[in-house]
Amino acid sequence: MTKPIFYHAGCTICVEAEQQVAKALNAEIVHLGEQPERLSEAEAAGIKSVPAVLLNGGVFHINFGASLADLKA
């Protein structure tokens, strides 16, 4: 089982989800605002908005903070 990855962009909705869900899942935390080079990886995995968790290949968007398209703009 690969380590879950929690993608976010630092918004308040993202931070709450990070503090609760990402920590509970012991996920790797990726801040796409600070690591824009990982946007293509997130997009390739099927992520449409952040915050989101990639867990065993499944994509789980959590609430809605921002769309990936806006992060790329």
Q: Which residues bind a second copy (CB under 8 A)?
A: 4, 16-17, 20-21, 24-25, 53, 55-56, 58-63
Please report how close the Cβ of residue 59 comes to a second copy at its closest, in angstroms: 8
In the complex with a second copy, the residue whose CB is nearer, 36 or 58, is 58
The H or E element containing residue 52 is: strand 49-55
Residue 16 or 41: which CB sits closer to a second copy? Answer: 16
Q: How far is the CB of 37 from a second copy (least distance, A)?
A: 26
Rounded Cα distance between 39 and 68, Å, is 8
Q: End-to-end CA distance of the chain, in Å?
A: 33
